[in-house]
Structure 1
Amino acid sequence: MFGSYEHTTPAESSGGPTSHSSLRMKKLLIPVLGMALSLPAIAQQAPKPYGALPSARQLKWHDTEMYCIVHFTPTTFEDKEWGYGDADPKTFNPSNFDAEQIIRSAKAGGFRGIVCVAKHHDGFCLWPTKTTDYNISKSPFRNGKGDMVRELEQACRKNGMKFAVYCSPWDRNNKDYGTDKYLATYQAQLRELYTNYGPVFMSWHDGANGGDGYYGGARETRKINNLVYYDWDNTWKITRELAPDACIFSDVGLDVRWVGNERGFANETSWATFTPTSADGKSKGVPGNANDKDAPTGTRNGKYWIPAECDVSLRPGWFYHESQNNRVKTPQQLLDLYFKSVGRGAALDLGLSPDKRGQLHDIDVASLKGLGDLLRKTFGTNIAATAQVSATGSRGKAFPVKNMLDNDRKTYWASQDEVTTPELTIAWKKPATFNIVGIREAIALGQRIDGFAIDVWQDGQWKEVHKGTSVGALRLVRLPNYYSTEKIRLRITDSPVAVTVAELGVYAEPEQLVAPVIRRDKDGQVTISSPASVHAIRYTIDGSEPTASSAVYTKPFELKHPGTVKAKAFGASGSGATESVQFDIPSAGWSIDQNAAKAIDGDPQTVWYSPRSGKYPHTLTLNLGQSTTLKGFTFLPDGSDHRSGTVYGYQVWVSEDGQNWGDPVAEGRFDNIQNSPIEQRVLFRTPKAGKYLRFTATEPTDSKQTWANVAELGVITK
């Protein structure tokens, strides 16, 4: 949130082209080496640029950091995620559409732009296009005179928000899709959007490339060669011609890359440089056929500057579903995503889903406001601004340390060419309490830092509290604990060239005493963590309630027998909610068939999925290694937002030899498991001894999904 290249009015936000030399230091400026320096810098030249560099449009995009993408089409009224393309336009009839309510809610959350889904895969256009009759003019909205793209665009301009468009290349309604006639239609739609609704700060594209659809009534599956069908080189020339300041987003850039997941975060090591290829690495990549596995990290010293966008929906789905009203991400969850996206040099693109009224639900609005409040309280005061800052190996008076504290990304401190591991020290007259350190490089000169460490002065000596790798546009280090100290030190531990630091910040996040997360791996090692920084986590292993005198968690501990671990966060304002997890015997020494090791690894984030081509029932056989008296079993489904193949019905058997199974020891259904994907604990009618346990999934929650998922399968012995 701290420091910016420029904050413009809405009319300026996608204005005329600028060069790197427009990113200048204050007062009288003279261009040097593609950058601009103040007169005193003549004696101390700016560091030479390193590697791939961002364009002027990309620097503006970096300044945006947070924006939202809005999905609202007939699909909303069908209660689907992907429309088939056959919905009657008359179904699109929001009762009280309010563009300003949507835009103001996003702005209250700290977001600075909106991407309007002008056309999704169903092919329905939210503007009165001349390219197809399947558009908003055929709906009852505004008596057939409506233009939702225009209303969202105008609401953005009015509220000082940037505006962008997404027009899906895949069109499940268009009769010409899959033929050589369709491309002209798609390109014409882009021309209409750029010409009539600009300026836009992004042109957004995803990788959906054909499949089943309505296609003018054919109702068939159509496949295309995504390497050539959309002629991306010439299609994107339209963007460059009509929207020269728009960053092109897709799996491969050209300006911004997809991060490779829809969970909203980049890897902790995140490079803005990237070398895109096709999935097999043998040809040029295109949307839907790219090296997505490399996208979360990027490519160190990659060929191009193509930073990552982290997209994730506020709800489990991209479109509104009433059944998901109780699963809207909380402000605390959104803040965590902010640290893992923006705080790793990427951008956060949050999906908003208007309901059938055409407004965001009150729960969504409250969550957005809560995020905005947390951001303002956290980053409103830079504690480093009251400190004395010093540095080793400084380049000279043209690049003073005060540039790191002026809230201006155009100015920066730099080290001498021969100094690639400088140290920066922040010292206060009285101890300061903090839990966040923020660092920005002067990225107009490239991403330079390969490694860094943060030290805290404690008990008369330096104590290392964090080690990191990439920095780039922004690195926010959110420490697990608060520290009170008179000084901290940032050490650059690895850089190929002279170091630049544009902004340096120290912050104290409002204390959030949320329930800790308790995990145990297959070997019996228990870890306890907090989603937010805390002063201390206290825990018990005997089932008693943690108190201010309970053990403080400092490192993983061993629990190889059944037991209940309880933990609670403690802080200056008291204590938070208690988290309690009941563990049985760990899975060390177990084995399982069907290549389902992920189902017994103790990690709920790893999930076994049966083959998509399979059919129910799906069976897993667990070998416990020795005969054990079993009282029941535990089952944890995939709990991610985009899960599928959730098991509803089950049967379980126990055997001593893995051959003779007898009657099931348990059978039934997991009630409400689709909406509440939590651990299921099922007791057998009577305990039974055995070395083997067989779990059979007999029925899915969704009959169209013929596969099954298992995050964790366990046993109950106590």
Structure 2
Amino acid sequence: MKLVTIQKNVLVIALTLFSINLKAQVRNPDVAKHLNQLQQQFVDLRFGMFIHYNIPTYANADWPDPDADPKLFNPKKLDANQWAKAAKSANMSYGCLTTKHHSGFCIWDTKSTDYSVMNSPYKKDVVKQFTDAFRANGLKVMLYYSILDTHHKLRPNQITPRHIEMIKQQITELLTKYGKIEALIIDGWDAPWSRISYDDVPFEDIYTLIKTLQPECLVMDLNGAKYPADGLYYTDIKTYEMGAGQRMHKESKVMPALACLPINTSWFWKTDFPTVPVRKPQEIVDGLIKPLNEASCNFILNVAPNRDGLIDDNAVASLKEVGKLWRNEGATAKLPALDLPIISSNIAIKKAANASWSDDMDIMDFANDDNYKSSWRSNAAVKAPWFEIDLKNEQAVNMVVVTEQKPNINTYALEYWNGVTWNKVFEGKNEERIKIHRFNRIWTSKVRIRILQSKESPSIAEFQVFNER
């Protein structure tokens, strides 16, 4: 018990120091520059293997019974080296394994729950076998982790502090027991189908923990459906699950991205996989890898091992053909300099909003409803349009983000109320669609934008206010 207490105290100290370091990031361009280098390195990897292998493999369903018996997980021939060699044959650069999917079953030696591979007939740490095999074959290692956890009732409206502690414990295990992890791909968080928000499980807490444990580990949350394509919201890398209809858009600013699809008809192995044709090699190369790489997007192809723990022959054969058609030619196009990602809670959501005259169908409430598809629009007759968020009580603020449906507002002033008068934190020109402003922390109850020049009647999709650590 004393050892556990000491470990917790050390982690608290580390988190505190990292929190202090985050405060300095606002004024330290070197931090953003280093993240940009990691983002470029990730995109330059170009092509990797996603490995959906977990208890759903034994249920013939991507979403199995949350109380499925651990005894189901019983591979007879599991060979992570076979997975790695199949990836190498396709000239992939890395692999990523589903350590825990939505049903909560852990395939590593975790101390956080009994619902794990160690209580299955197999009783071996699959994550260790995966990381060892892929590194031995010269491949980089990434891990997938689901926040949504139906077995442990980590679901909407049921989340407790104990759940959050479990998440932190599991992530700590994954990032301290298996060497360097290039990226942690997170799923089941802030998605319409999971309904677990970044406030229910605080994103900034989890992001800080990951960066404390492994500062160079990229955080990728599979949230590409909700947020604007040309802004890094709650992720270091933009993500697109193509099978769910998510697609990259041609934006004025190129973003580091990841797109994913399975080689089979679904993510986890199904009984018909050995006989159903897999995705064609030429389609994988010419229709996915090449065009995505040209758009600064890394492509990860899911290959699902079967119940024996082996990749089926038809998938192995397809990967070999891919390797004959394609090789990694090195660095992709250089990414532009990017701001640090937004990781904090937006304190402006659904607060009282005021604005210059607008029609009721374009009223001010649409600019802080957490919906990027709706907007407040000032009436064209207004000569000096403005928009304001009333926080009611004085709060700490050090970042404001203004997002438009399209670039329109180009000159404006951002101001805060100090109880007596309005003070400026910015006045000038910014023609980006997503306008990010970080500044020294101030205390205020109101924040506003005064629009000085725009191409058309000004409109705002989201006016966001943050207090970053």
Normalising by the residue count of structure 2, what TM-score does the alignment of the two structures yield? 0.58
Distance 2:277 2:150 in 1: 29
Offset at residue 151 of structure 1 (A): 0.1
Aligned residue for 2:252?
300
* Structure 2 residue identity aligned to 1:300: S
Aligned residue for 1:97?
78
Aligned residue for 1:344?
295
- Determine which of 125, 138, 144 is the counterpart of 1:147: 125
Give 3-state SS (helix, strand or coil) of 2:243's partner: coil
Distance 1:176 1:441 in 2: 41
- Determine which of 199, 203, 210 is the counterpart of 1:228: 199
Cα contact 2:48–2:93 (8 A) shared by 1 = yes
Give 3-state SS (helix, strand or coil) of 2:301's partner: strand
Offset at residue 209 of structure 1 (A): 6.0
- Determine which of 216, 222, 233 is the counterpart of 1:245: 216
Offset at residue 114 of structure 1 (A): 0.8
Offset at residue 299 of structure 1 (A): 4.3
- Determine which of 182, 188, 193 is the counterpart of 2:174: 193
Within-5 A mapping of 1:126-525: 126-141=107-122, 144=123, 146-175=124-153, 177=155, 178-180=158-160, 181-207=162-188, 225-250=196-221, 251=223, 252-259=233-240, 261-262=242-243, 296-297=248-249, 299-301=251-253, 306-324=255-273, 325-335=275-285, 336-376=287-327, 409=331, 441-443=333-335
Offset at residue 306 of structure 1 (A): 4.3
Distance 1:196 1:224 in 2: 30
Aligned length: 296
Q: Specify every segment of 5 or more residues in structure 2 that has no aligned partner in the other structure, as ranges.
A: 1-28, 224-232, 340-430, 432-469
Identify if the C-alpha distance between structure 1 residues 163 and 124 changes in structure 2 by more than 3 Å, giving closer, same or farther. Answer: same
Offset at residue 442 of structure 1 (A): 3.6
Offset at residue 263 of structure 1 (A): 7.0
Aligned residue for 1:56?
37
Aligned residue for 2:423?
none
Aligned residue for 1:28?
none
Aligned residue for 1:282?
none
* Structure 2 residue identity aligned to 1:136: V
Within-5 A mapping of 1:7-46: none
Give 3-state SS (helix, strand or coil) of 1:244's partner: coil
Which gives a bigger RCO, structure 1 or 2 (Cα 8 Å, sep 6+)? 2
Cα contact 2:40–2:256 (8 A) shared by 1 = no
Identify if the C-alpha distance between structure 1 residues 229 and 263 changes in structure 2 by more than 3 Å, giving closer, same or farther. Answer: closer
Which has a greater percent of strand? Answer: 1
Offset at residue 332 of structure 1 (A): 1.1
Identify if the C-alpha distance between structure 1 residues 52 and 259 changes in structure 2 by more than 3 Å, giving closer, same or farther. Answer: farther
Cα contact 1:54–1:444 (8 A) shared by 2 = no
Q: Using the aligned pairs only, state the percent identity.
A: 25
Identify if the C-alpha distance between structure 1 residues 225 and 354 changes in structure 2 by more than 3 Å, giving closer, same or farther. Answer: closer
* Structure 2 residue identity aligned to 1:247: L
* Structure 2 residue identity aligned to 1:321: K
Correspondence 1:112 to 2:93: yes
Give 3-state SS (helix, strand or coil) of 1:68's partner: strand
Distance 1:211 1:311 in 2: 19
Give 3-state SS (helix, strand or coil) of 1:323's partner: coil
Distance 2:73 2:60 in 1: 12
* Structure 2 residue identity aligned to 1:339: K
Offset at residue 344 of structure 1 (A): 2.4
Query: Which whole-Å deviations, capped at 9, do the CAs of 1:543-596 have from their partners, x for residues lacking one?
Result: xxxxxxxxxxxxxxxxxxxxxxxxxxxxxxxxxxxxxxxxxxxxxxxxxxxxxx
Cα contact 1:263–1:312 (8 A) shared by 2 = no
Normalising by the residue count of structure 1, what TM-score does the alignment of the two structures yield? 0.39
Offset at residue 201 of structure 1 (A): 0.6
Which has a greater percent of helix? Answer: 2
Aligned residue for 1:86?
67
Greater C-alpha Rg = 1
Cα contact 1:262–1:310 (8 A) shared by 2 = no
Query: Which whole-Å deviations, capped at 9, do the CAs of 1:315-353 have from their partners, x for residues lacking one?
Result: 010011132332311111211211232232201011110
Cα contact 1:117–1:165 (8 A) shared by 2 = yes
Distance 1:196 1:242 in 2: 11
Cα contact 1:53–1:444 (8 A) shared by 2 = no
Distance 1:298 1:337 in 2: 16
Query: Which whole-Å deviations, capped at 9, do the CAs of 1:92-142 have from their partners, x for residues lacking one?
Result: 00110000001110111111111110000110000110100000111111x
Give 3-state SS (helix, strand or coil) of 2:235's partner: coil
Cα contact 2:241–2:260 (8 A) shared by 1 = no
Distance 2:146 2:59 in 1: 19
Query: Which whole-Å deviations, capped at 9, do the CAs of 1:66-110 have from their partners, x for residues lacking one?
Result: 111111112111111112321111110011000000111011111
Distance 2:195 2:324 in 1: 46
Give 3-state SS (helix, strand or coil) of 2:40's partner: helix
Give 3-state SS (helix, strand or coil) of 2:242's partner: coil
Identify if the C-alpha distance between structure 1 residues 176 and 52 changes in structure 2 by more than 3 Å, giving closer, same or farther. Answer: closer
